[in-house]
Structure 1
């Protein structure tokens, strides 16, 4: 039974979630280097002591923010793409990315911010590598699901294909964020064209009855 000086487990969980949401808004708007715990406490309407009760440090809070966001993003990809038909998986993927570029762009900036911080902060490095590994695993599942050895021959290993696909998606996504003048529609059109070219080079249908790689689906 919790003591009177400690919140009940359900209330504590709700409070922690609320603080993560508020921290997410602050960090996404201003970046990790320009936000202090005091700023987050003020935006959340709590004292600095209360914030420290739930998070030992600014680093601890950032990790909680990224973990929460990336869990949501990966689940969204799994729901939309893994469950899609062979004819619609690319369309579903582009819809998720379009939503991310239009509605959650600031959060993606924060993800790239964390990756930069990971080069200097060992505690961040482990979590960044863990998230990247989950994304690699998701891509590997999609490769095995939509381009199995029974229907497609590969010009490289699965690991090699996964690394190339991840590098392309990540690189083009970062490029679209840096190019403020580029619309999400133009960014995704460029991504779609490049991804299709890469897939055609990596996966070769064995028979004419094999489901083809989706063709370009046009403007968004």
Structure 2
């Protein structure tokens, strides 16, 4: 087996372990030593594959971004009307919160990190732009010149991220299912009144 072939699976194992550990404990509470232990590699291997903690977490951010974009694109495949688009993306966020709360916490933790660390900001900005563009592209298939699809997609995603954050912070008081159900209806209503 070549060195390159051996390197790939080990770097993947490290990345997977980092995603898992970060989703469980968050950026502030995790150490590279814990990640190396979870991946079953020596700490030096993390430095070999990712240089430093920042390099590893940037790779985690890229991985999360690619996964979310791929999953949302699959959710929206073949959809053309805004009602279906809004409902499907809303269901996606609700499913993430219900089934993979750690992954959603990881996404929010990385977003928070990008507020304070300049090296993370371009990738997080690109992730939000790509998510909005994915929704916007589908909305553009509707011929509605009075609607700002770009802004609508951004506000829509902002509402979903905000509800997700509230539900994680206060699950007892935030009735997430009810809030998530309201989002598509509000945006459909906003879209129908924008042209009048």
TM-score above 0.5, yes or no: yes
Counterpart of 2:181 in structure 1 is 192
Q: TM-score, normalised by structure 1?
A: 0.78
SS in 1 for 2:158: helix
Deviation >6 Å, runs of 4+: none
Provide the alpha-carbon RMSD of the alignment.
2.4
Unaligned runs of 5+ in 1: 207-220
Q: CA deviation at 1:204?
A: 5.3
Give the Cα–Cα distance (whole angstroms) in 1 for the partners of residues 69 and 177 of structure 2.
Answer: 19
Q: TM-score, normalised by structure 2?
A: 0.86
The number of aligned residues is: 194
Give the Cα–Cα distance (whole angstroms) in 1 for the partners of residues 162 and 44 of structure 2.
Answer: 40
Q: CA deviation at 1:139?
A: 1.9
Counterpart of 1:217 in structure 2 is none
- Greater Cα radius of gyration, structure 1 or 2: 1
- On the 8 A contact 1:81/1:89 being kept in 2, the answer is yes
Counterpart check, 1:134 vs 2:127: no
Counterpart check, 1:124 vs 2:120: yes
- On the 8 A contact 2:79/2:85 being kept in 1, the answer is yes
Q: Which has the higher helix share?
A: 2
Counterpart check, 1:96 vs 2:92: yes
Counterpart check, 1:181 vs 2:172: yes
Counterpart of 1:58 in structure 2 is 53
Identify if the C-alpha distance between structure 1 residues 157 and 120 changes in structure 2 by more than 3 Å, giving closer, same or farther.
same
Give the Cα–Cα distance (whole angstroms) in 1 for the partners of residues 194 and 128 of structure 2.
Answer: 29
Give the Cα–Cα distance (whole angstroms) in 1 for the partners of residues 173 and 8 of structure 2.
Answer: 40
Counterpart of 1:143 in structure 2 is 139
Q: CA deviation at 1:23?
A: 0.9
User: Relative CO higher for 1 or 2, CA cutoff 8 Å, sep ≥ 6?
Assistant: 2
